[in-house]
Structure 1
Amino acid sequence: MGTSNQEESACCGTDCCSSVAVIQQTTGTSNQEEGTCCGTSCCTTEDGGSITDNLYSELELENVPVLAALASRGCGNPTALAELKPGEKVLDLGSGGGIDVLLSARRVGPTGFAYGLDMTDAMLALAERNRVESGIENVRFLKGIIEAIPLPENSVDVVISNCVINLSADKGQVMREAYRVLVPGGRFAVSDIVFQGKIPEALQSDLEAWAGCIAGALEESDYRRLLHEAGFVDVEVEVTRRYALQDIADSGASNAVSLLSEQERAEVDGKFVSAFIRAHKPL
């Protein structure tokens, strides 16, 4: 069974600074840290952050509980880009507080279904609370890791994820699992952080940079390669947002950034991007 290097952050109470962050190391053990919406957490900057800003429309936010929106630590809006259709079954990898699952459930309608997969009890409890508050019935939250999805093969039409795959220590296994559970003709539609170049060692080895969705980012060519190796076709990588060096520092990797040489800083600046990655499982 695959191990996970995911980090999930959520506001579990009305106080935004009472969130829980969990990083599970490649050994399969978990390190729990006090993460907050006011400071370091996955894919967010210390002042609210350009990485997570303005990802959802006002209408979308009006249709989800406040805590679901506050718990969101994504880098895109896969539900809006995945072209979900009524009646489809959707799986969200690393569903956190459930915002993308709830939005997906509304898009696929009562004849469709949305699954959310997360490894943390706090996130699952928060997501279920948000589901109940939303009054949405065509949703189920599952406990597990994204390297070993607890669903049978050929069971969903679309796999989405929002800035979570970069946190896995075995991204190839994640993509193989996504391929396994998709029906023939199914779609992989993921928002994630991608690096257009080579990530310096100082960032790769920094835990805060991992938690900030930076250190684990795949190079674009590697993302394409792993998807093809898993069996996917029609792979596309569309850049949706580009980050300056300061954005990377603000995401929680300020210590690692301070260790970079001037040349490395120049090589990193503007090379981390949010991207929407599309692929299909052949018929």
Structure 2
Amino acid sequence: MKNDLEIKSIVKEKYGVIAEQPASQNAASCCGATSSCCGDDVYHIMADDYTKLEGYHEGADLALGCGLPTAFAKIKAGDTVIDLGSGAGNDCFIARAVVGDSGKVIGIEFTEKMIEKARANAEQLNYNNVEFRLGDIEQMPVGANKADVVVSNCVLNLVPNKPAVFKEIYRVLKPGGHFSISDIVIKGNMPEKWKAIAELYAGCISGAIQKDEYIDIIDKAGFTNRTVQKEKLIFIPEDILSQYLSPDEVLAYQSGDVQILSITVYAEKPLEAKAPSCEPGSGCC
């Protein structure tokens, strides 16, 4: 079993490579984790289509997402938006198209090469109200009560300490602010061997937790009006599964015993914010 630092090191190394890959290569893999996992065929496994959204910039789209959180996030002109795991800036630039010149967008990313790519994109677009900060979303480089909206796209599944992230989201949101987060969750018992494979940690699957557990973490963090805005089943092609699972395990997966889901979740920080509940050993305190 890898510890948190080892998992973060794996993710940082993989996403440093991904920053220099073309989007087509990332879209053909499990969240860009590897260029070879899909055999000879190309599958758009996780990513949704951003190309029709205002603010879309092709150079920032690495095809790493699993939803369209900005489309559900109820962003308004003048808002301050924080994007967790901002990559090359794709969701930040979509959000910027909504907040306009009077708003602000802050992307937080812990892979240096991604930050470099995002900042170059922002300079090319001449955006002076989109900022990218190098940092860990378990300890955000942002003051308390700063954001109207927090978004994130297929990132929290990569983070070992999810309760800590939601505690940080609660801290940085203004009272009455909200988040819309797209992420990967699972239903059923995922084979243990998946959780030991580095490529799948960086590919969004092995770091995912049970949907009910994910929702419970949000509720315990103190958020209200929580709702699942969208849910879709992720289909993993057999030629990928067969690289990691036995024929019997592949059949078990295809029978629906295990489901990999993309969900987009919305919740609000109360106007009168209370301290989040915390149980011993939960990692959120």
TM-score between the two structures when normalised by the length of structure 1: 0.81
SS of the aligned residue for 2:128 comes to: coil
Q: Does 1:276 align with 2:270?
A: no
SS of the aligned residue for 2:220 comes to: helix
CA contact (8 A) 1:43 1:51 kept: no
Structure 1: which 5+ runs fail to align?
Answer: 20-35
Deviations 1:154-190 (A, max 9, x none): 1111111000000001011011111110111111210
Deviations 1:90-131 (A, max 9, x none): 000000000101111111111111000001111011001111
CA contact (8 A) 1:11 1:67 kept: no
CA contact (8 A) 2:101 2:129 kept: yes
Alignment partners' CA distance in 2, 1:211 and 1:129: 24
Aligned to 1:42: 31
Alignment partners' CA distance in 2, 1:52 and 1:243: 7
2:82 aligned to which of 78, 85, 91: 91
SS of the aligned residue for 1:216 comes to: coil
Q: Does 1:56 align with 2:31?
A: no
The AA in structure 1 aligned to 2:22 is C
CA contact (8 A) 1:55 1:75 kept: no
Q: Does 1:108 align with 2:108?
A: no
Give 1:204 deviation, angstroms. 1.9
Alignment partners' CA distance in 2, 1:55 and 1:269: 28
CA contact (8 A) 1:191 1:276 kept: yes
SS of the aligned residue for 2:119 comes to: helix
Higher strand share: 1
Mark the CA change 1:80 to 1:65 in structure 2 (over 3 Å): closer, same or farther.
Answer: same
In terms of mean alpha carbon deviation, does 114-123 or 131-140 score higher?
131-140
CA contact (8 A) 1:10 1:97 kept: no
The AA in structure 2 aligned to 1:56 is Y
Mark the CA change 1:107 to 1:188 in structure 2 (over 3 Å): closer, same or farther.
Answer: same
Aligned to 2:281: none
After superposition, residues 135-214 of structure 1 pair within 5 angstroms as 135-214=126-205
The AA in structure 2 aligned to 1:138 is N
Q: Does 1:235 align with 2:241?
A: no
Mark the CA change 1:16 to 1:262 in structure 2 (over 3 Å): closer, same or farther.
Answer: closer
Alignment partners' CA distance in 2, 1:208 and 1:268: 23
Give 1:65 deviation, angstroms. 3.4
CA contact (8 A) 1:194 1:219 kept: yes
Aligned length: 258
Alignment partners' CA distance in 1, 2:201 and 2:256: 16
Give 1:243 deviation, angstroms. 1.8
The AA in structure 1 aligned to 2:152 is S
Alignment partners' CA distance in 1, 2:30 and 2:124: 25
Alignment partners' CA distance in 1, 2:29 and 2:251: 26
Alignment partners' CA distance in 2, 1:272 and 1:145: 26
CA contact (8 A) 1:72 1:97 kept: no
SS of the aligned residue for 1:240 comes to: strand
Q: Does 1:220 align with 2:220?
A: no
Q: Does 1:257 align with 2:245?
A: yes
Deviations 1:71-90 (A, max 9, x none): 23111111111111111110
Mark the CA change 1:192 to 1:162 in structure 2 (over 3 Å): closer, same or farther.
Answer: same
The AA in structure 2 aligned to 1:37 is N
CA contact (8 A) 2:47 2:63 kept: no
Deviations 1:219-242 (A, max 9, x none): 111111111111111222244321
Mark the CA change 1:74 to 1:160 in structure 2 (over 3 Å): closer, same or farther.
Answer: same
TM-score between the two structures when normalised by the length of structure 2: 0.80
